[in-house]
Structure 1
Amino acid sequence: MASKLPIVKAKALEASKFLTKNGCAYYKQMLEQNKQYIQEPPTVEKCQHLAKQVFYTRLASIPGRYQAFWKELDDVKNLWKHRQELKIEDAGIAALFGLECFAWFCAGEIVGRGFTITGYYV
């Protein structure tokens, strides 16, 4: 690990120089491209107001998402009741979806362990 320290230090210095040279131009370009999203005047009060708007808007969307969840659940129950009529394509799609969920779970576990397969740090 100590042998990698000078390499990491050199990379950090290189990145710092790059940001010092190009950071301001990139910042100005990004602001110019996204100026339609900037609220005037850019004050702390305006930011707090927008944060409250986002919070309460998301809070207000809960009933709609709740209803959509129960509708999806009813559709799944209906499919389970009529599983004899289920086509092989639909079963394949459901199996692939389950496999994808399991794969994302496994990937999350690996990331949570620090990108190790066995759980032990090397």
Structure 2
Amino acid sequence: MASKLPQLQTKLAQASQYAAKHGGAWYKQLVERNKQYIQEPPTIEKCQTLANELFYTRLASIPGRYESFLKELDYVKHLFRNRQELKVENAGIGALFALECLAWFYGGEIVGRGFTFTGYHV
């Protein structure tokens, strides 16, 4: 690990130099490209107002999302009650969805451990 420290310091220095050289131009280009999203005047009060609007809009959307969730849950319950009418295509889609959820779970676990498979760093 100690032998990798100088290499890491060199890479960090290179990244810092690149950011210092190109960061200002990138920032100006980013702001210019997204000018339609910028609120005028850019004050703290305006930012707080936008944050409150976002929070309360999302809060107000909870009942609609809850209703959608209940509909989906009712659909799954209906499928389980009528298993004999279940088509192979629907079962395959369900199995693929479950497999995808499992893969995302395992991927998240690996990322959470710092991209190690054993759980410890070498």
Q: What TM-score, normalized by structure 1, do the two folds share?
A: 0.94
Query: Superposed, which structure 2 residues align to 1:75-94 within 5 Å?
Result: 75-94=75-94
Residue in 2 that maps onto 1:116: 116
1:18 is the counterpart of 2:18? yes
Residue in 1 that maps onto 2:99: 99
Give aligned pairs, total.
Answer: 122
- Per-residue Cα deviation, 1:51-100 (whole angstroms, up to 9, x for no partner): 00100000000000000000000111111111101111111111111111
Structure 2 unaligned segments of length 5 or more: list them.
Answer: none
Cα RMSD of the aligned pairs, angstroms, is 1.1
Deviation, structure 1 residue 114: 2.4
Q: Which amino acid aligns with 1:33?
A: R
Task: Select between 2-11 and 53-62 the one with higher mean Cα deviation.
Answer: 2-11
**Structure possessing the higher relative contact order (Cα contacts under 8 Å, 6 or more residues apart):** 2
Deviation, structure 1 residue 20: 1.4
Deviation, structure 1 residue 120: 2.8
Structure 1 unaligned segments of length 5 or more: list them.
Answer: none
Deviation, structure 1 residue 121: 2.8
Residue in 1 that maps onto 2:65: 65
Task: Select between 108-117 and 58-67 the one with higher mean Cα deviation.
Answer: 108-117
